[in-house]
Amino acid sequence: MLRRALITILALVSAAEIRAQSLDTEMADSTPIDYVYTPLDQASSAKLGLHFFKNLDLEPELTHRTNISIAALPTYTPHRGLGIGLSGDIRYGQHRNNVPQNRVYISASASLTGCYEISIDGHHLLPSGIDRLRYDASIFSEPTRLYGLDYATSQQGSYGNYTKRGFNIEIGYSIRASEHLTLCALADYIAMRTTSPNRRAEEILQHHPRAYSGAGIGLEVEFSTHRVYEVNEQRGIRLNIKGLLRPNVLNSGNHTLWGINSSFNIYKPLWRGALLRVEIWGEHLSKHTPWMLRSALGNDFQMRGYYASRYNGNTQIGTQVELGQLFLNNLVIAGWGAVATIFSPNDKASWHKLLPNYGVGIRWHANATSALRLDLGFGKRTWGIILGVDRPF
């Protein structure tokens, strides 16, 4: 009788262990947590309850440490030419679940054409644990071509030369209103001036001012479900809308200036190792915005291959689609296509002013969020190479 009871108890215990393993395996299949079944040492099973309560921690793990990474890489863009860039990424303060709460990014670049730029940006988590202080500042000098101040003139092949110098600073107070919604109050100051214009540049500028300085206030709203998992593995959406007001009493012009810009991004995994990115963007500036502050078509991230200041205006609308395929764990080959238009109040929008853009690129990833990239972009009677760090969008 006793022997039969012992056999029955052992059978029940074995069945319970097998059922527990089955349940945990099912849970692992529906979550990103990998489950490995390891039987308990029967000799230590009596201490399980005491060990569990001693190590129970309902709060995420918090540690204090500083991570610093420094990189030096060659750079190339159509408007800056060949140069070198230095960057330092500092992550500090509390780490929650191995994710740093504070970050400072410092970069400096210089090129053979005489361009240089030094910038710093970052964010700091405030004691509330919800709000953040954001900051962004830069100083720059950049020899630049000036094709024209309207679409028709910019289409011509002749251009003037001048040097653009200035600095700007922006500070923001960011509040996380919900899991996916962030609000940020902004204040900024910008100062720019034009130096050494040649004869052609003087002909284009005529009576337009050669300098501007002013302060502004604004609000930024962002809704984001975007998440980065592995190299070339992302999913979600991100919508960002930013408005800025520059009262006439706070700037060197005679008018109150305002502007709004927005972007909508979609990140969609397709087949294994493939990622589709879609971006729609727009910017609109008030009628009296100085030419130095106008929207410019073409940069390192949008309409790649166009010279950054060739087409400029008060309103810009565009979209781009990029497909990237992962090879060899950290190598991504991508291709993209885009279209955009830009115009001003005296230069109305037209289907004939749509500008195409397409190209191919290679990204060599150091990790899921940073990569060395080489892009070759083509546009309307133009092309360009971009060599730099990080993804385009």
**CATH (residue range 62-389):** 2.40.160.50
Q: What's the residue count for the chain?
A: 393
Helices (H), the chain: 2-29, 48-54, 151-154, 199-205
DSSP one-letter string for 35-77: ----PPPGGGGGGHHHHHHHS---SPPEEE--EEEEEEEEEEE
- CB within 8 A of 71, min separation 6: which ones? 86, 87, 88, 389
pLDDT of res. 100: 60
pLDDT at 64 over 70: no
pLDDT at 365 over 80: yes
Tokens of 308: 């950054």
Nearest to 296 by CA among 355, 243, 346: 355
pLDDT of res. 339: 97
User: Cα–Cα distance between 379 and 386 in angstroms, integer?
Assistant: 14
pLDDT at 60 over 50: no
pLDDT of res. 391: 64
CB 264 within 8 A of CB 238: yes
pLDDT of res. 182: 94
Dihedral, CA atoms, 314, 320, 326, 331, nearest 10 degrees?
-30
User: Cα–Cα distance between 359 and 377 in angstroms, integer?
Assistant: 4
Sequence letter at residue 46: A
Kindly list the domain boundaries of the chain, sorted by start residue: 2-54, 62-389
pLDDT at 140 over 50: yes
Chain Cα centroid distance, residue 150: 29
Bridge partners for 266 per DSSP: 237, 278
CB 359 within 8 A of CB 378: yes
pLDDT at 357 over 50: yes
Q: What is the pLDDT of residues 273-312, one digit of tens each?
A: 899 999 999 999 999 999 999 999 998 889 998 988 889 9
What kind and span of H or E run contains 106? strand 99-111
Give the pTM: 0.77
Pairing of strands 227-230, 233-246: antiparallel
CB 314 within 8 A of CB 284: yes
Mean pLDDT of all residues in 73-87: 87
Nearest to 275 by CA among 316, 318, 333, 213: 333
Mean pLDDT of the chain, nearest integer: 82
SS3 180: coil
pLDDT at 185 over 90: yes
Bridge partners for 337 per DSSP: 321, 358
Mean pLDDT of all residues in 109-125: 92
CB 37 within 8 A of CB 18: no
Sequence letter at residue 1: M
SS3 154: helix
User: Cα–Cα distance between 9 and 4 in angstroms, integer?
Assistant: 9
Mean pLDDT of all residues in 50-65: 43
Mean pLDDT of all residues in 52-62: 39
CB 332 within 8 A of CB 353: no
CB 238 within 8 A of CB 224: yes
Nearest to 206 by CA among 223, 214, 194: 194
Distances (CA, A) of 325 to 246, 269, 387: 43, 10, 19
Sequence letter at residue 279: E
Pairing of strands 132-146, 116-125: antiparallel
